[in-house]
Amino acid sequence: MYPDLNSQSAKNFERAKAVLPGGNSRSTIDLKPHPIYLTHGQGSVVYDVDGNEYLDFINNYTSLIHGHAYPAVTEAVTKQLPLGTAYSFGTIQEIEHAELICGRIPGFDKIRFCNSGSEAVMNAIKAARAFTGRPKIAKCEGAYHGSYDFAEVSLSTGPDDWGQNEPVAKAYSKGTPQGVLDDVVVVPYHDEVAAEQLLKRNAGEIAAIVYDPVSSRVGMISPTQAYFDMLVEFCEANNVLLIFDEVIAFRLGYEGAQGVHGVTPDLTALGKIIGGGFPVGAVAGRADVMGVFEEGGGLPHGGTFNANPITMAAGMATMQSMTRQAFDSLNAMGERGRNEFDEAFKRAGIRAQVSGQGSLMRLHLTDRPLTSYQSVYPKPEEGERMLALHHHLLNAGVYIAPYGLLCLSTANTWDEVQQLIDAVINGLTKD
């Protein structure tokens, strides 16, 4: 039973703390009192060092759309490995993967690969500044856009930080320079009137608005058409670039979230599923804006492992398998899952709800209306219940993110989704 201080996972954590700050290299795996260490994964199931198995409903934080050890990816990578893993030259795989992605999305004239979603957002912001000559960006309060200083602003504010009438630009990481805060305009999520007022106040200095249409940290609240309209109209009227962060949201459909919502941004940051389980990021968009990456364009961009053939091969195998039918089937399972969750909560008299789109979901242990980051922010008792539920799910053989994020993969069956729902209900109703 988790937690078990005599488990192999607990012992591995003590070993890790001797050589790794905090015992790991990514805070997302941190669990109290100790993280779980895995030996392998297959399809929708992962296995830990103590012999326990879990239905994996987080899929390396949404990056695995086919689950673990997907045969097509394994075959592609195995074929490439004896030929080399990285070169100081271009590869055909890079061209082919670029052609595949750009061929699907009308707004993708060109694409540039990097190694993470954080890098993708960073390079999109730098491209917007290079193209417009302006210093500032705008972003939504609470939205996560990776680990770039500017993208982190106001990522995790609490009630004591909230402004009376407008969000406050607040540092997420200790040591963030004041200049970074000065160059970020923080706007409320899906309050188009208040957001537009803040944007207009800084219109002449904003290079780009960075927007995630399915922001996990903002609760995966469904976007409103009015907010989309405001963003597009403001950008067109003020020569501001619109950047979509689709590092996660790209799994919403064959043409990404922008295809689902009928919006064509100027630039899009990509990552996660396009790498097939390997480190990846990319910036795609308008040819004239992407021109800043060309020689003489003003934005030199290197990277030792950019577009390496292993990632490109794995990404190609993944995305080729994600046909329109595959997206439709996966999204239908997600929609059914959210509906079944809502019905199960009603039957059990539980004050909870599930938000999300497509194959993405987020569990909220409240029934209050969710309209913004501040409304999603959990009260102390909600946080305690979520932690208790997470421990219950681990012992029921189900894994989701500790704060309620989960996603489906093509490896999942409906029986597994039902097992997830039953485990959540049992965890919230047990004495």
pLDDT digits (tens, 9 = 90+) for 111-132: 999 999 999 999 999 999 999 9
Task: Please tell me the total count of domains within the chain.
Answer: 2
Share of the chain above pLDDT 70, in %: 99
296 and 171 within one domain: yes
Q: What's the pLDDT band for 236 if we cut at 50, 70, 90?
A: very high
What pLDDT is stored for residue 161 in this prediction? Answer: 84
Provide the whole-model pTM: 0.97
Q: What's the pLDDT band for 375 if we cut at 50, 70, 90?
A: very high
In the predicted structure, residue 164 carries a pLDDT above the cut 80: no
Q: Got the DSSP string for 275-307? A: GTTS--EEEEE-HHHHGGGSTTSS-----TTTT
Convert the pLDDT of each residue in 362-371 to its tens digit.
Answer: 999 999 999 9
Report how far residue 318's alpha carbon sits from residue 280's, in angstroms, rounded to the nearest whole number: 13
Please give the average per-residue pLDDT across 239-251, as a whole number: 98
311 and 226 within one domain: yes
Convert the pLDDT of each residue in 62-108 to its tens digit.
Answer: 999 999 999 999 999 999 999 999 999 999 999 999 999 999 999 99
209 and 228 within one domain: yes
Q: What's the pLDDT band for 168 if we cut at 50, 70, 90?
A: confident
Q: Helices 192-201 & 225-238, crossing angle to 10 degrees?
A: 10
Of 305, 321, 337, the last residue of a domain is 321
In the predicted structure, residue 430 carries a pLDDT above the cut 90: no
180 and 304 within one domain: yes
409 and 300 within one domain: no
* CA dihedral sign, ordered 221, 105, 91, 78: positive
Domain membership flag for residue 15:
no
User: Higher confidence at residue 168 or residue 384?
Assistant: 384
Report how far residue 373's alpha carbon sits from residue 367's, in angstroms, rounded to the nearest whole number: 15
Full domain range(s) for residue 88: 71-321
In the predicted structure, residue 12 carries a pLDDT above the cut 60: yes
Report how far residue 269's alpha carbon sits from residue 242's, in angstroms, rounded to the nearest whole number: 11
What pLDDT is stored for residue 1 in this prediction? Answer: 86
